[in-house]
């Protein structure tokens, strides 16, 4: 996996251990449930999120629009999914459980994608903006 630089992130993860790094980068990203798409024919899961930028310590807090693509996906399952597609949740973690990539979100919402191999792309797709909402963890 490439090291983050000073510009927008563009990372390719192809090793199971890369999922841990992607999880750290996506922790506290806000996700509008309508911004999740699964293309069964292309075998691709895509999420558009507002990612909290942790890779620039000492700079003012900011977020950026970011895309996560997961390739080689044969099935997707949802848990605790609200009926309102405009609902927003917060990503807590990504983890691999056997042949499933599990995206755990706040409020009991989760998404599982059955993957053949770890093949993820994380890419910032917009300019960062300042935020006053800094995630707090106990």
Measured CA to CA in angstroms, residue 120 lies from 72, 80, 85, 135 at distances of 9, 24, 24, 25
Residue 98 resides in a domain: yes
- Tell whether 27 is covered by a domain: yes
Q: How many domains does the chain have?
A: 1
5 pLDDT more than 80:
no
Average pLDDT over residues 85-110: 95
Full domain range(s) for residue 37: 12-128
Contact 79, 107 (CB under 8 A): no
Note whether residue 1 is domain-resident.
no
In a domain, 136, yes or no: no
pLDDT given for residue 3 in this prediction: 42
Residue 135 in domain: no
The strand pairing partners of 96, in sequence order, are: 101
Give me the pLDDT at residue 138, please: 61
User: Does residue 61 lie in a domain region?
Assistant: yes
Mean pLDDT, rounded, for 91-100: 96
For residue range 58-75, list pLDDT tens digits in order: 888 999 999 999 999 999
Whether residue 4 has pLDDT greater than 60: no
Band of residue 2 on the pLDDT scale cut at 50, 70, 90: very low
Determine the Cα–Cα distance for residues 43 and 65; give it in Å rounded to an integer: 23
């Amino acid at each position: 996996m490439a090291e983050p630089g000073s510009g927008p992130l563009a990372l390719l993860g192809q090793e199971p251990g890369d999922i841990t790094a992607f999880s750290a980068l996506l922790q506290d990203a806000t996700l509008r449930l309508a911004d999740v798409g699964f293309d069964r024919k292309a075998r691709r899961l895509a999420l558009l999120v507002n990612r909290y930028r942790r890779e620039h310590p000492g700079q003012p807090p900011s977020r950026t629009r970011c895309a996560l693509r997961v390739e080689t996906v044969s099935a997707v399952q949802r848990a605790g999914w609200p009926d309102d597609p405009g609902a927003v949740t917060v990503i807590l973690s990504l983890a691999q459980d056997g042949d499933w990539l599990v995206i755990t979100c706040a409020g009991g919402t989760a998404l599982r994608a059955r993957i053949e191999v770890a093949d993820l792309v994380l890419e910032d797709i917009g300019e960062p903006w300042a935020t006053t909402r800094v995630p707090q963890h106990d």
